[in-house]
Chains A and B, each alone.
Chain A
């Protein structure tokens, strides 16, 4: 069974940093692109970033470029999102997802809440 479990969310002040983790199991992690998607409270989904199987390619939505860094450790079957210079508008539930069927997120974790507030 495919499982994705996010951790690392919490309350952080504007300008602060946070590192999210996603632990994967039930599939060959190193064979898949991985994705982060976020959802602000009461709002829709927003694609944030994706990383290639070997970590050699990374893509970000414009609003997080230069502030967020995506990485992965295939030996640990883990995905990471380092978030710096956080802003109030980054407040959201952050979902880790696998890019699978139809090059789209096919399996999602349950999400971790990031709140940026003073």
Chain B
């Protein structure tokens, strides 16, 4: 059971370039999330999805787009990368526990992105 897999693990971009980060989960979870982690800032939610075909903005959505065409995949896109987007990006998925409550989030290993 692979859990949550992020691709790629490392990437260096030049300012203005675009790229897509892929998150795949094999646990049949409904909810998926993209976070960024910066020193001293904890994890900040970029976008999330409550199910296939749906997405919503989180705390820091500007400069990012997402898509959830398949339940198991959640893609994060940077259309025109900026140095301020240098960060470690984490994908997570979660499930509805007994009584309809989410009871745990599972995280990928992270993608370290540097924009120069």
A is bound by B: no
